Amino acid sequence: MSNQAAGGSHRAAPVHTDPEDVSVLTALSALADPVRIQLVRELAGSADWTRSCGSFDVPVGKAALSHHFSVLRGAGLVEQRDQGPKRVNRLRREEFEARFPGLLDLLLRGDGTD
């Protein structure tokens, strides 16, 4: 069972989806939700691997939060890594941009119009 080398965890690694394998419908569905939009925006304003799941200021419980991150992973928007007891996140900017050019920019440049 040689798995992690440095700072690894013995937990089930999060399942990631390559943005290249994501359909337009899946991408749009993932982003068509107020909570997930907020997550992506907040994540975009932070450095990679600096935000744990619980560190986001969203008005939902942790169960729903976990679900939202699962959806974001499935859409190739977020990458997660276990760091001690926490699960830290990274927005897959370049990869997602390569698959859906301009889409992320739309969200991030998005006015408050919500």
Partner DNA sequence: CCGAGTGTTCGATGCGTATCTTACAGTCCG
Partner DNA sequence: CGGACTGTAAGATACGCATCGAACACTCGG
Sheet with 78-83, strands from edge to edge, namely 51-52, 86-91, 78-83
Q: Residue 44, interface with a second copy (CB under 8 A)? A: no
Q: Which two structure tokens, joined as six digits, stand for 10?
A: 């013995």
Say whether residue 98 binds a second copy (CB under 8 A).
Answer: no
Cα 27 from Cα 49, distance rounded (Å): 22
Please classify residue 102 by burial: count the beta carbons closer than 10 Å to its beta carbon, then call 0-12 exposed, 13-18 middle and 19+ buried: exposed
Q: Which does 28 bind (CB under 5 to 8 A by kind): a second copy, DNA, none?
A: a second copy
Binding mask 72-101 for DNA (x = CB under 7 A): --------x-x-xxxxx-------------
**For residues 56, 61, 66 and 70, what is the CA-based torsion angle, rounded to 10 degrees?**
-90
> Would you count residue 101 as binding a second copy (CB under 8 A)?
yes
Q: What is the spatial distance between Cα 38 and Cα 55, in angstroms, rounded to a whole number? A: 12
Residue 32 binds a second copy (CB under 8 A):
yes
Residues 9-28 that bind a second copy (CB under 8 A): 22-25, 28
Regarding 61 and contact with a second copy (CB under 8 A), the answer is no
Q: List contacts with DNA (CB under 7 A).
A: 7, 9-12, 14, 29, 33, 35, 52-55, 59-71, 80, 82, 84-88
